[in-house]
Structure 1
Amino acid sequence: MILKNDSFKIDVTSEIGNLRSLLIHSPDSGLGKVVPSKAQDWLFEDIVHLDTVRKNEYDYYIKLLMYFLDPDKIKGKLKQIDSAADKRSFFKPDNKNFHASDKVIEIQTLLADILEEKNIREKLVASVCAIESCNYRLQQKLIDTKPVELAKIFISGSLTTDEMIFAPIPNLIFSRDIGIAINNFMLLNKPAKKARARETLLARYIFFNHPLFANYRENILEIPESMQHFLRPGEDNTDKTTLEGGDVMMVSPQHLIIGCSERTSTSGANEAIKLLFDNDVVKKVTIVKIPHKRDYMHIDTVFTQVKRNMWVLLGSLTIAESPIEDKEPIAWFADKKSKDKVEIIQFRKGKKPKMFECLEALLSNISEHDLESKEKTQFIYSGNNTFPYDAREQWTDSCNLLAVKEGVVLGYDRNDKTVEAFKQNGFKVVKVAELLEKFENNELNPQTMKDTLILMPSAELSRARGGFHCMSMPLFRDKVL
């Protein structure tokens, strides 16, 4: 099945415009094969229970996206979908009841599509086998494998249910990291860790070869390595050129934020700025340097946008603290538990760089100047800015929210104090199961919803260390007017 859509386009000018299409990857069998001894090598802190993730958690995510983005494919079918013997049949592409949406787009579908072409299949098999050190006979066997099955093998690492031939790529569920849409351009990533090399390779082949992106081939940007990078000593040299999508946010039509973090290097940010300015993609890029800690990983684990004038963020990385003499020693110790320095510098094409003293100052500037908000900028803090809940809930992605439209965001149900903060700021809070029933029974229209935090089940998904912002690559959003 070649996914086609004559009206398809790439155009993302904000974090909050009505979401019209996105790229996702539903949990595959490889996620269920992460073992403790390899978890950290594969960038996981824990192992997840695959069936629970699929049937009781991610399942809700796909249904919700479909009601907002492609309602004709799900409206009136909810009971039928829920009563299916295999609940995965609706959101995994190798099942006959797969939704096949051209708005909620599954990466595995696009991969299977391009593998139909023999020339591409041979090249991609050779490339994967090279980086995974496969023998020649296995390479020939893979070339002769049917495209749908081969796509599954490339992603899961499994030749059959019981036979693994190389490592899975469980991080593919975090689709944002492989690339980001910036206006009508696509910026592809350069991952920091070897565990993500194969998913990056697959993404390149998809974007450069799938007919869905044919009109945008000239707008695909790849970050080059620095000259003679191969002469650098060591694998983890700090000058390595890396950039991941979780560190890139398109906040207004001419303004991009890039984080320098554990996963995105200064060199990666510099190369991205050069590419973006040389190709006239944006006029302003702000670099937000956060501590290189696993606690934070990407900037979208520290802050995301909720509305034109509202952001959710981790308070301990924001406003500068009062001097120690102004505080009781115990209060100072508590405040310092998760306090680290953030540095912010903004580059404007043809102008001098500009500094910001803290995240609140930057985000207020975006809301009030770039997005021309008439209202004062508001901040909702992780854990309601209360220690130790701020750090605990940030760890389980309280700041990593996906806006399906301005003021309507998806978050995990386990972050209780952050939920309280949303309520205090005038938000309705609703569990996704209740919301889907209301959509199905015509009690509520997704397009008329306002100021709502949708709570998604998260007992297992949160173990993977990524929220719904991580698990989405927006391709098209309406402009914020």
Structure 2
Amino acid sequence: MKLSNNNFKLDVTSEIGNLRALLIHSPDNGLGKVVPSKAQDWLFEDIVHLETMRKNEYDFYVKLLMYFLDPARIKGKLKEIDAKESNRVFYKPDNKDFHCSNKVIEIQTLLEDILQEDDIRKKLVASVCAIENCNYRLQLKLIDTPPAELAKIIISGSLNKHEMIFAPIPNLIFSRDIGIAVNNFMLLNKPAKKARARETLLVRYIFFNHPLFAGYRDNILEIPETVQHFLRPGEDNEQKTTLEGGDVMMVSPQHLIIGCSERTSVSGANEAIKLLFQNDVVKKVTIVKIPHKRDYMHIDTVFTQVKRNTWVLLRSLAVPDGAGEIDEPLGWFADKKNKDKTEIVQFEKGKKPKTFKRLEDLLNDVSKNDLGSAESTVFIYSGGDTFPYDAREQWTDSCNLLALKEGVVLGYDRNDKTVEAFKQKGFKVIKVKDLLQKFENDELNPETMTDTLILMPSAELSRARGGFHCMSMPLLRDKVL
């Protein structure tokens, strides 16, 4: 079923406004075929048990999203859906009872839709086969494959249950990284790792060709390479132009935060600033440079927003003393001596750049000056800011939370000390399984919930090194008034 653009709107002006539409990708068969020898090449720390991830973890995520974003498709039907759970009928696009929501939107559905068009199917198959070094006979075979089946093959790398023709793209579940909505623009990524090249290709085809986004095609921003990049002698992260969505946060209508990290380069951040300012998308961009370590990966593994005056974060990393004047962002961040230091500099049209010494100072400034919070800014620290729990729980995404609305966030149930820190700040805590039953029994209402941390099962999902902020690409949020 093709999703139409009737009443579809792209508009994200914050990290915490009521979530109304998002793009996700539910775990596909490719995740179940990651082998230990290739796991790190494919950016996984470990192999996962696919059925547990699907049935006991991600399934709850989709159901919760539906109650908040598209309740008519699930309210009163939970018992019936659970009875069919073993067949995964509810959230996998290739099942006849798939929810097919135009608010909780599945990437595989959009891919299937555009593959219905002969011209697009031929071009996309040719592009995928070029990336994956497929032979020409296989290319012709794929072109003649029905769209629904072809979409599964392109994503999973499997021609059938037993035959793989190219690598899976298991990181597609982290839909945040492939693009981010900035107001009514879509900023597409340039991945740092080859393992994510096919994801980027698919997303470009989807955003430029799917009718859902027809009204926004002029608002799609693609990060260009620097001039004569092909002549550069080196290929380290600072010289490549890379940018991933986990390093981009839309914190207010005119303010974007971009991280320089293991995955987003100085060059990528610099090119993004130019694009955003040239197109008048935002007036202010803050660059947060964090250590280029796998421990952190993206800035959304270090901090995310809970309320306009509340943030969850890893205690600020070391910052250099005596930050001085800044003439050009690329020069400021290219200092190799400070590679493992946190540096924060803010660029605003018509003003001199300014620096922040600590992450807390920046986040307090966002809460007070961008979002107009009259209350004191609250910081909830990973692991309760107690060693070794702060580092352990940050590794399992204690700081990577998704706000469904202001004050109502999703996080992993395994981060016990962080959960206690939320309780100490006055937040209610509830397990997702209990919450779904309360929604179904009219004991709780998503519209009236406040200050709640929803605990999601995480035994397998956490092995993939990403939380629910990573597993979401918001397309529409209410404005924060």
Give 2:204's aligned amino acid. Answer: R
Q: 1:33 maps to what in 2?
A: 33
Q: Stretches of 4+ moved more than 3 A in 1?
A: 234-237, 318-321
Report the Cα distance in structure 2 between the residues aligned to 1:182 and 1:101, rounded to whole angstroms.
Answer: 23
Residue pairs, 1:304-453, within 5 angstroms: 304-317=304-317, 341-453=341-453
For the residue of structure 1 that corresponds to 2:36, the secondary structure is coil
Gaps of 5+ in 2: 322-338
Q: 1:269 maps to what in 2?
A: 269
TM-score, normalised on structure 1?
A: 0.95
C-alpha change, 1:318 and 1:307, in structure 2 (3 Å) is: farther
Q: 1:281 maps to what in 2?
A: 281
Report the Cα distance in structure 1 between the residues aligned to 2:442 and 2:66, rounded to whole angstroms.
Answer: 15
Give 2:46's aligned amino acid. Answer: D
1:126 and 2:134 are equivalent in the alignment:
no
Give 1:395's aligned amino acid. Answer: W
Report the Cα distance in structure 1 between the residues aligned to 2:235 and 2:158, rounded to whole angstroms.
Answer: 28
C-alpha change, 1:214 and 1:5, in structure 2 (3 Å) is: closer
Give 2:104's aligned amino acid. Answer: V
1:3 and 2:6 are equivalent in the alignment:
no
Report the Cα distance in structure 2 between the residues aligned to 1:319 and 1:238, rounded to whole angstroms.
Answer: 19
Q: Percent identity?
A: 83
Q: 1:91 maps to what in 2?
A: 91
For the residue of structure 1 that corresponds to 2:403, the secondary structure is strand
Contact 1:320–1:358, Cα closer than 8 Å, also in 2 = no
Deviation at 1:234, TM superposition (A): 4.5
Give 2:315's aligned amino acid. Answer: G
Report the Cα distance in structure 2 between the residues aligned to 1:435 and 1:7, rounded to whole angstroms.
Answer: 30
Deviation at 1:232, TM superposition (A): 2.0
Give 2:257's aligned amino acid. Answer: I
Q: 1:55 maps to what in 2?
A: 55
Report the Cα distance in structure 2 between the residues aligned to 1:384 and 1:86, rounded to whole angstroms.
Answer: 38
Contact 1:66–1:74, Cα closer than 8 Å, also in 2 = yes
Contact 1:5–1:102, Cα closer than 8 Å, also in 2 = no
Q: 2:213 maps to what in 1?
A: 213
Report the Cα distance in structure 2 between the residues aligned to 1:320 and 1:452, rounded to whole angstroms.
Answer: 36
Q: 1:176 maps to what in 2?
A: 176
Give 2:21's aligned amino acid. Answer: S
Task: Please tell me the root mean square deviation across aligned C-alpha atoms, in Å.
Answer: 1.3
Deviation at 1:65, TM superposition (A): 0.2
For the residue of structure 1 that corresponds to 2:38, the secondary structure is coil
Report the Cα distance in structure 2 between the residues aligned to 1:93 and 1:208, rounded to whole angstroms.
Answer: 21
For the residue of structure 1 that corresponds to 2:463, the secondary structure is helix
Give 2:381's aligned amino acid. Answer: Y
Report the Cα distance in structure 1 between the residues aligned to 2:280 and 2:85, rounded to whole angstroms.
Answer: 51
Deviation at 1:230, TM superposition (A): 1.3
Report the Cα distance in structure 1 between the residues aligned to 2:26 and 2:415, rounded to whole angstroms.
Answer: 23
Give 2:254's aligned amino acid. Answer: Q
Give 1:210's aligned amino acid. Answer: H
For the residue of structure 2 that corresponds to 1:129, the secondary structure is helix
C-alpha change, 1:85 and 1:375, in structure 2 (3 Å) is: closer
Gaps of 5+ in 1: 322-338
Contact 2:316–2:360, Cα closer than 8 Å, also in 1 = no
Q: 1:109 maps to what in 2?
A: 109
In the TM superposition, what whole-angstrom CA distance separates every residue of 1:316-339 from its partner, at most 9, and x where no partner exists? Answer: 527899xxxxxxxxxxxxxxxxx9
Contact 2:316–2:359, Cα closer than 8 Å, also in 1 = no
Q: 2:165 maps to what in 1?
A: 165
Residue pairs, 1:115-264, within 5 angstroms: 115-236=115-236, 238-264=238-264
In the TM superposition, what whole-angstrom CA distance separates every residue of 1:188-228 from its partner, at most 9, and x where no partner exists? Answer: 00000000000000000000000000000000000000111
For the residue of structure 2 that corresponds to 1:86, the secondary structure is helix
Deviation at 1:89, TM superposition (A): 1.0
Report the Cα distance in structure 2 between the residues aligned to 1:308 and 1:11, rounded to whole angstroms.
Answer: 18
Report the Cα distance in structure 2 between the residues aligned to 1:237 and 1:17, rounded to whole angstroms.
Answer: 33
